[in-house]
A and B are shown apart, each in its own frame.
Chain A
Amino acid sequence: ETGVTQTPRHLVMGMTNKKSLKCEQHLGHNAMYWYKQSAKKPLELMFVYNFKEQTENNSVPSRFSPECPNSSHLFLHLHTLQPEDSALYLCASSQEGRGRAYEQYFGPGTRLTVT
């Protein structure tokens, strides 16, 4: 257990569905992240939140919409996805300070399949 939980662990959705991924961290960290991991590609950073404020949106299509209601919770709202969005979506948290990236703690991921 890393102190970061993600639900659901597996999700199959059609292209017209709307669903949400949830992440919760129990570590008291001030930064949270969404990553996308596709086969044969490096881990892609999607969004970064520091103290609930979004500080990075890595040119992610608008069909992915993040929400960070507090420093412990992070959501990724999904709508009208494409089959190429099928991937493992990983949430992570860390304690950031003074512009340095320290160790990140990852959740187990949500395996998303878009049909």
Chain B
Amino acid sequence: SQQGEEDPQALSIQEGENATMNCSYKTSINNLQWYRQNSGRGLVHLILIRSNEREKHSGRLRVTLDTSKKSSSLLITASRAADTASYFCATDAAAHAGGTSYGKLTFGQGTILTVHP
């Protein structure tokens, strides 16, 4: 299965409710990132959490990371219709080529969030 698998695949809630999405991964990571994508558009970076961090906040977003369980969760509080989008987690593992060390993100399949007004 894929590095960075989101759960659930789809989530439908009412405005004002909280939305929680989970991500599991398999290998050691340097950091884990969450992105958002509106239909047919590019991804937008939301938040990055490093492997030595356990929790991070940004506005209505709260991300947790449990490296022992190789999992992360994204919580969106007080959701709005405008939060409707796909949400992806991406894990960073170092890669090497020709003597160069570079970062490489591996994305999960995403959670489709629908917030009903």
Contact = CB atoms under 8 A, between A and B. Distances in A.
Interface of A: 2, 4, 6, 31, 40-43, 45, 48, 50, 53, 55-56, 88, 90, 92, 94, 96, 98-109, 111
9 contacts: A6-B42, A31-B102, A42-B2, A42-B109, A55-B102, A56-B102, A102-B31, A104-B45, A106-B43
B41 A103 contact: no
Interface residues of B, number: 31
B44 A56 contact: no
Given A43-B88, A56-B95, A111 B105 contact: no
B104 interface: yes
Interface of B is mostly: strand
Contacts of B110: 42
Contact of A106 (B44, B103, B109): B44
A63 B54 CA distance: 43
A45 B105 contact: yes
Given A101-B30, A101-B31, A103-B48, A48 B43 contact: no
Interface in B13-57: 30-31, 33, 35, 40-45, 48
B68 interface: no
Nearest to B92: A101
A56 B41 contact: no
B82 interface: no
